[in-house]
């Protein structure tokens, strides 16, 4: 049960349609919200006011919410609803109170370094198991959509290979299995091999990948390292469709795949593409819970 966020001051800086769900939820919970990089947004939210980054008072801000990618390597923040340039600098963060927490989807060297420099806590939401597992739901739906769009055969009855049994791989494998595909899953840990067997699918150790790819119709990769190398692709049938879900640059040798005539698609950010509203709600729910916990901790300290 999430309590209200009355009295909590939050700066939401930039972002896309997903962030609107976050703002909506925080507004419902009675937080005081400053929107930076939203001047083209027509929809009013109760308790939210549009601000300019240079004119804003950060001295009472309890939390800063950044878009999923955080910042780029120069500190620039993506703003879909604004033409304004929004740059996050350590000088700005240093104006926030010491308890102010910075929330982002992921981070990079720049964001890590400025938050560290000013000693503010940085929470990377996409590293959380709950967020990754919830996000696997729209990811799976997007993967099914791509498999349908890019093949001329049914998923049912086709030979599908899933690489990796992490939070995304498990959901992908299970869903294609349920749709009637013959699913093989590749992993490197014996406990994963055991789990794949328990789930009623065919497991294989990644060391044997070259052997196992020989009869695959659809290959879905979730391993963020170079796994579908030229050597592996050389053994793959040319009709195989590769859907690479791993974060950029993916785990496929795309140059070699193209040379061999294998269709290989890098498919980043599927939740935000196929279901921005759900993807936003996933973040909104987790964020409101975390902000609530922050608030309770602060109250306990002052009592």
Q: Is residue 265 close enough to count as binding ligand NAP by CB under 6 A? A: no
**What whole-number distance in Å separates Cα of residue 160 and Cα of residue 186?**
11
Q: Which is nearer to ligand NAP, 47 or 224 (CB)?
A: 224
What mask of x and - would describe binding to ligand NAP in positions 200 to 219, judged by CB under 6 A? Answer: ------x-------------
Q: Which is nearer to ligand NAP, 47 or 269 (CB)?
A: 269
What mask of x and - would describe binding to ligand NAP in positions 218 to 247, judged by CB under 6 A? Answer: ----xxxx-------------------xxx
Angle at 257 between CA 253 and CA 261, to 5 degrees: 175
Interface pick for ligand NAP out of 168, 175, 252, 288 (rule CB under 6 A)? 168
- Rounded to the nearest whole angstrom, what is the least distance from the CB of residue 71 to ligand NAP in the complex? 18
DSSP state of 247: S
Q: Which is nearer to ligand NAP, 157 or 268 (CB)?
A: 268
Give how many residues touch ligand NAP by CB under 6 A.
25
* Terminal Cα-to-Cα distance of the chain (whole angstroms): 22
Q: Which is nearer to ligand NAP, 92 or 162 (CB)?
A: 162
- Rounded to the nearest whole angstrom, what is the least distance from the CB of residue 203 to ligand NAP in the complex? 12
b/e 157-173 (16+ beta carbons within 10 angstroms → b):
ebbbbbbbbbbbbbbbb
Q: Where are the extended beta strands (E) located within 5-72?
A: 9-13, 32-36, 48-51, 63-65
Q: Which is nearer to ligand NAP, 37 or 70 (CB)?
A: 70
- Rounded to the nearest whole angstrom, what is the least distance from the CB of residue 172 to ligand NAP in the complex? 9
DSSP state of 26: H
**What whole-number distance in Å separates Cα of residue 64 and Cα of residue 101?**
6
- Rounded to the nearest whole angstrom, what is the least distance from the CB of residue 128 to ligand NAP in the complex? 10
Q: Is residue 268 close enough to count as binding ligand NAP by CB under 6 A? A: yes
Backbone dihedral region for residue 30 (phi beyond 0: left; psi -120 to 50: alpha; all else: beta): left
Q: Are 65 and 103 in contact (CB under 8 A)?
A: yes
What mask of x and - would describe binding to ligand NAP in positions 113 to 152, judged by CB under 6 A? Answer: -------------------x--x---x-------------
Secondary structure (3-state) at 167:
helix
């Amino acid at each position: 049960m999430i309590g209200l966020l009355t009295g909590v001051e939050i700066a939401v800086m930039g972002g896309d349609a997903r962030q609107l769900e976050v703002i909506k939820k925080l507004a419902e919970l009675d937080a005081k919200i400053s929107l930076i990089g939203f001047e083209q947004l027509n929809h009013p939210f109760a308790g939210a006011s549009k601000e300019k980054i240079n004119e804003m008072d950060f001295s009472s801000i309890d939390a800063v919410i950044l878009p999923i990618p955080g910042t780029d390597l120069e500190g620039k923040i993506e703003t879909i609803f604004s033409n304004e340039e929004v740059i996050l600098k350590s000088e700005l963060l240093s104006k926030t109170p010491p308890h102010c927490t910075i929330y982002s989807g992921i981070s990079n060297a720049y964001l890590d370094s400025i938050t560290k420099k000013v000693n503010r806590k940085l929470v990377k939401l996409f590293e959380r198991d709950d967020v990754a597992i919830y996000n696997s739901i729209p990811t799976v739906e997007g993967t099914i959509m791509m498999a349908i769009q890019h093949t001329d055969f049914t998923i049912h009855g086709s030979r599908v290979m899933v690489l990796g049994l992490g939070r995304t791989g498990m959901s992908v494998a299970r869903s294609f299995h349920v749709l009637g595909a013959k699913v093989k899953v590749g992993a490197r840990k014996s406990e994963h091999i055991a789990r794949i067997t328990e789930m009623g699918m065919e497991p294989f150790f990644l060391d044997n990948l070259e052997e196992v790819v020989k009869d695959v119709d659809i290959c879905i990769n979730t391993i963020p390292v170079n796994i579908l190398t030229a050597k592996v692709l050389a053994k793959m049938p040319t009709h195989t469709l590769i859907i690479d879900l791993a974060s950029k640059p993916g785990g496929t040798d795309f140059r070699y795949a193209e040379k061999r005539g294998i269709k290989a698609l890098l498919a980043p950010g599927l939740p935000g593409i196929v279901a921005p509203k759900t993807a936003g709600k996933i973040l909104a729910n987790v964020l409101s819970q975390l902000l609530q916990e922050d608030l309770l901790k602060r109250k306990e300290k002052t009592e």
